[in-house]
Amino acid sequence: MIRKKIPITPKNFQITNEQRATAVWLIKKYTSYSWIKRTKEALELFTNGYEAYLTKRGGSQWWRDNLQGLRISLNGYAKALDQFERGNLSKAQAFVYQGFHFLDWLEDPRTEITEKHVEIGYREPPKKAVGLYSYGSLALHMAFKTRNSFSGTCVFPRILDEANLPSDIADRLDPLAPISVNLVDIGQEFHTTGIWLPVSHPLGCPVYAEAGSENGTIEVPDMKFARWPSEVEFKNGFPPVEVEFLHGEVQSKFVLLWKEDRYERGKIPDESEYLDPTVELPTEPPIAKPVTDEDYF
């Protein structure tokens, strides 16, 4: 493969207002009550199945520690949903962070742990998880999206990789007109919980920020690696071009685009548009499947 480093410039990479508006819509989706509730539902089924499997199988302290971690996460999600329903947004978000506890170990890349996960349905991508782990895989996918959104680490162009946007997404996008003329300068605190647009860098992605949090740094694409096959490789069927983006940290001023007021007084709006078919709960029973040699290859 031939590999070339290409600096990002306004001539070879641009972000449109429609893409920014799409990012805003996606961040609303990933931080919504309904998205978080579905994450909790998948995690609860996974946790219950994990406990049943551990009771039947027996296991080392590693398995028991994992179960305890799952319960901590599940408890966090349950409390978060309760606070959403009470209209206590800041408390709800704090408990959502407790829900992220399971992210640190469930998809651990170490070989010995991955092999143990195969027992409960983990399959090496591009194979899809099966049985019990299909529920854990869904919870992972959804929780990562929420964590990136709440932590303000969504970046272009990665956030636009969502393949299941509504067909009428253009009609659902809010205009990008700022709702506040007051800029939050570098190093200042965000005064309102909501979605903010970086105005100092054209490639900066909108971020979700909580009132009282500090305007620190954001990541923007500053380099891309293009890989394409040699003539011999191309004849052997290699894909023509692969592009990987690298990101660097910058500081920016921000302007408020959207104020978070969805759950005031505990009212939960209709958010069915956020739950597309890709995040439906699996149809398989949440139990471990027998492992075959093919599952390792």
Measure the CA dihedral 150/152/156/159, to 10°: -10
3-state SS track over the chain = CEEEEEECCCCCCCCCHHHHHHHHHHHHHHCCHHHHHHHHHHHHHHHHHHHHHHHHHCCCHHHHHHHHHHHHHHHHHHHHHHHHHHCCHHHHHHHHHHHHHHHHCCCCCCHHHHHHHHCCCCCCCCCCCCHHHHHHHHHHHHHHHHHHHHCCCCCCCHHHHCCCCCCCHHHHCCCCCCCCCCCECCCCECCCCEEEEECCCCCCCCEEECCCCECCCEEEEEEEEEEECCHHHHHCCCCCCEEEEEEEEECCCEEEEEECCCCHHHCCCCCHHHCCHHHCCCCCCCCCCCCCHHHHC
Asked if residue 265 has pLDDT above 60, the reply is yes
Q: How confident is the model at residue 111 (pLDDT cuts 50, 70, 90)?
A: very low
134-173 CB burial, b ≥16 within 10 A, e <16:
bbbbbbbebbebbbbbbebebbbbebbebeeeeeeeeeeb
Look over the chain and give the mean of its residue pLDDT values, rounded to a whole number.
Answer: 86
54-78 CB burial, b ≥16 within 10 A, e <16:
beeeebeeebeebbebbeebbebbe
For residue 139, what pLDDT is reported? 97
Higher pLDDT, 103 or 43: 43
Query: CA 155, 159, 161: angle at the middle one, nearest 5?
Result: 140
Q: How confident is the model at residue 225 (pLDDT cuts 50, 70, 90)?
A: low
Asked if residue 175 has pLDDT above 90, the reply is no
For residue 270, what pLDDT is reported? 95
Asked if residue 284 has pLDDT above 80, the reply is yes
On the question of a cis peptide bond just before residue 285, with omega within 30 degrees of 0, the verdict is no
Q: How confident is the model at residue 288 (pLDDT cuts 50, 70, 90)?
A: confident
Cα 162 to Cα 157, 159, 278, 286: the distances in Å are 10, 7, 10, 26
Percent of the chain past pLDDT 90, that is, above it, reads 57
**Mean pLDDT, residues 41-49 taken together:** 97
**Mean pLDDT, residues 269-293 taken together:** 89
For residue 279, what pLDDT is reported? 96
Asked if residue 112 has pLDDT above 50, the reply is yes
For residue 64, what pLDDT is reported? 87
Higher pLDDT, 293 or 70: 70
**CB proximity list for 151: less than 8 A, separation 6 or greater:** none
Higher pLDDT, 292 or 2: 292
What whole-number distance in Å separates Cα of residue 138 and Cα of residue 205? 25
Domain boundaries, the chain: 1-12+175-261, 31-166+273-290
Asked if residue 239 has pLDDT above 70, the reply is no
What whole-number distance in Å separates Cα of residue 211 and Cα of residue 19? 25
Total residue count of the chain as it appears in this document = 297
For 136-166, the pLDDT digits (tens) are 999 999 999 999 999 999 999 999 988 678 8
Q: Tell me the whole-structure pTM to 2 decimals.
A: 0.89
> Measured in whole angstroms, how far is the alpha carbon of residue 259 from the centre of its chain?
21
For residue 231, what pLDDT is reported? 59
Higher pLDDT, 246 or 260: 260
